[in-house]
Amino acid sequence: MADQTFDYDVLVIGAGPGGYVAAIRAAQLGLKVACAEGRATLGGTCLNVGCIPSKALLHGSELYDEAAGGMMAKYGIKTGPVSLDLAAMQAQKDESVKGLTGGIEFLFKKNKVTWLKGYATFKDARTVTIADQTVTAKNVIIATGSSVTPLPGVSVDNDAGVVVDSTGALALARVPDHMVVIGGGVIGLELGSVWRRLGAQVTVVEFLDQLLPGMDGDVRKEAAKIFKKQGMTLKLSTKVTVVEVKGQKATLTLEPSNGGAAETLEADCVLVAIGRRPNTDGLGLGAIGLEPNARGQIETDHEFRTRIDGVWAVGDVIPGPMLAHKAEDEGIAVAENIAGLTGIVNHDVIPGVVYTSPEFAGVGLTEEAAKAAGHEIKVGKFPMMANSRAKTNHEPDGFVKIIADAKTDRVLGVWCIATLAGTMIAEAALAMEFGATSEDIAYTCHAHPTHSEAIKEAAMTVNGKPIHI
Ligand code: FAD
Ligand code: NAD
């Protein structure tokens, strides 16, 4: 029952994975819940313009690549000439998005969560206006997510389709001849891979000296080799200083990050993918005296309380990796905390996956971070080339790397490059959550023949006793 002085026990602002999950769990726990969302459909960035549409295009483009690239022929499957109906591929992506966003609307109805349509602004800590209505709530959860970080001096126009952000790159109506991706992070490599597979020449310009910041050093080095082998051109330690658009063409000026001679590149599509920033504009945080930190994020404690009594925050808008599953887990935890239970998220064990082919995945500390944190470490590495299933499937790229504490053998981090790395990493996360040692993993029976056996063998390698290398 709602406290009689408030319209709702909980008002969630934003219906992305952080917000909609918090709303549903709070309702499951018997609280009266509303969720404000300004977008026309529920599900936030993830379902509308993020995880789901990107994975739909990654899957579709992978099927196309397999058919057109001869992998099917290798297995004796004769397909004849392969051609692309991009409109149909985009339509099936839109269908997946529609199905899943509609699914959240169904779950809201099922759990009696009221969707307040519009963007919310605080009047005070417990009073919020949404479109033309004002509501009060005993607890307000900020789950407003994040938006694309703009590149100073570069204007994105997703409708024109020449300089686009991730949302534009998910909706292109034609395959570019030459796509230049600014930023060799997750979005750049996933969406760059989609358009490369569909026929574009792709150049990735990355400011740092390696791709995929935040991942283990060995993984980052291998990533560069793999993407180059797949036909991407990589310009590392390079920054884009100017993008000039004339009609359907863009001319980019590139400079080495540490100074040096500039060069120019022509492209008919430029994808700006240099990161995302928290959404706090228009929320009226000033009205409740809540200042974002220097990175624009809302700070919380471990229970997801902000400094302001009754105001909580989760997801991309707070510090930590900008990942849907991290936002979801925080959504569950904050609802449980509001309901008087104990909601906890272990931020040391949040897996991350890049859904290219092969996939890149990791959980826990990188080798560099483990050393920097003062751990004496042992490392076990096992190549996918020596894994019977990967070898049989003609998927030789990649490895599993396990980093364990030298004294206790406790697993500190696991990194995988493999076609199924995103699925394999769940085992590593579970093991770490239970405080496993590398020996625990090595003595766990793994089904044969599976890619996951590479995790067992990497664990055996930590102590120098793998069987297959
Ligand atoms: P969001 O999903 O951003 O949702 C916030 C919602 O709040 C939005 O719908 C917004 O309209 C609404 N909102 C904002 N302000 C207000 C307001 N004042 N009033 C009312 N509503 C408001 N993560 C993964 O884990 N796996 C992936 O494969 C993956 N792929 C991605 C691919 C792309 C192209 C992108 C861009 C992101 C991807 N992400 C992925 C990241 C993931 O989408 C985010 O981490 C996740 O959506 C964050 O959830 P959230 O609930 O914090 O915020
Ligand atoms: P990112 O932080 O992953 O990568 C941005 C890259 O751009 C970095 O490598 C950075 O060094 C580079 N960069 C920054 N400024 C630059 C410049 N001026 N010139 C050239 N390079 C520059 O960010 P992203 O790829 O935009 O993704 C945003 C967020 O969305 C990430 O936090 C990610 O976690 C999330 N996301 C996750 C997934 C997934 O889980 N599979 C997929 C897509 C997005």
CA 84 to centroid of ligand 1, rounded, Å: 30
Q: Whose CA is nearest to atom 43 of ligand 2?
A: 187
State how far the Cα of 198 lies from the Cα of 409, in Å rounded to an integer.
45
Nearest to 97 by CA among 40, 49, 37, 164: 49
Is residue 38 scored above 60 in pLDDT?
Answer: yes
pTM: 0.98
User: How far, in Å, from the CA of 314 to the mean position of ligand 2?
Assistant: 20
For range 308-324, the mean pLDDT: 98
Residues facing 128 on adjacent strands = 122, 135
Question: At CA 287, angle to CA 300 and CA 311, rounded to 5?
Answer: 30
Percent pLDDT > 90 in the chain is 97
In the chain, what are the domains? Answer: 8-148+277-338 (3.50.50.60), 163-274 (3.50.50.60), 352-462 (3.30.390.30)
Only one residue has tokens 């302001």, namely 308
pLDDT of 3 > 60? The answer is no
Mean pLDDT over the full length of the chain: 97
**Per-residue confidence (pLDDT) for residue 70, from 0 to 100:** 81
The alpha carbon of 124 and the centre of ligand 2 are apart by a number of angstroms equal to 35
Q: How confident is the model at residue 2 (pLDDT cuts 50, 70, 90)?
A: low
Q: Are 167 and 158 in contact (CB under 8 A)?
A: yes
Distance from residue 276's CA to the centre of ligand 1 (Å): 10
240-287 confidence digits (pLDDT tens): 999 999 999 999 999 999 989 999 999 999 999 999 999 999 999 999
In this prediction, residue 69 carries a pLDDT of 86
Closest atom of ligand 1 relative to the 42 alpha carbon:
9
| pLDDT tens digits along 184-224 | 999 999 999 999 999 999 999 999 999 999 999 999 999 99
Give the β-pairing of 127-130 and 120-124.
antiparallel
Percent of the chain exceeding pLDDT 70 equals 99
Does the annotation count 448 as an active-site position? yes
Read off the pLDDT of each residue in 140-159 and give the average, rounded to a whole number: 97
Over residues 83-111, mean pLDDT: 98
Ligand 1 — pocket residues by CB below 6 A? 13-19, 36-39, 44-46, 50-51, 54, 119-120, 143-146, 166, 187, 279, 282-283, 315-316, 322-325, 327, 355
C-alpha of residue 149 to centroid of ligand 2, in Å: 9
Q: What is the pLDDT of residue 324?
A: 98
Closest protein CA for atom 7 of ligand 1: 14
Measured by CA distance, the residue closest to atom 2 of ligand 2 is 275
Q: Which residue's C-alpha comes closest to atom 28 of ligand 2?
A: 275
With cut-offs at 50, 70 and 90, classify the pLDDT of residue 417. very high
Whether 122 has a pLDDT exceeding 80, the answer reads yes
Which atom number of ligand 1 is nearest to the Cα of residue 167? 34
What number is the average pLDDT over the span 43-62? Answer: 98
Residue 4 has pLDDT above 80, yes or no: no
The one catalytic residue among 302, 347, 394, 448: 448
Question: Measuring from each residue's beta carbon to the nearest atom of ligand 2, which residues come in under 6 Å?
Answer: 151, 182-188, 190, 205-208, 213, 239-240, 273-276, 321-323, 352-355
182 CA distance to ligand 2 centroid (A)?
Answer: 9
Res. 1: pLDDT tops 60 = no
Question: Whose C-alpha lies nearest to ligand 2, atom 24?
Answer: 275
Spatial contact of 17 and 11, defined as CB atoms under 8 Å apart: no
Nearest CA to ligand 1 atom 29: 51
- Which residues lie below 8 Å from residue 109, measured CB to CB, with a gap of 6+? none
Q: What is the pLDDT of residue 369?
A: 98
| CB proximity list for 59: less than 8 A, separation 6 or greater | none
**pLDDT at residue 290, as a whole number:** 98
Average pLDDT rounded to a whole number, residues 447-455: 98
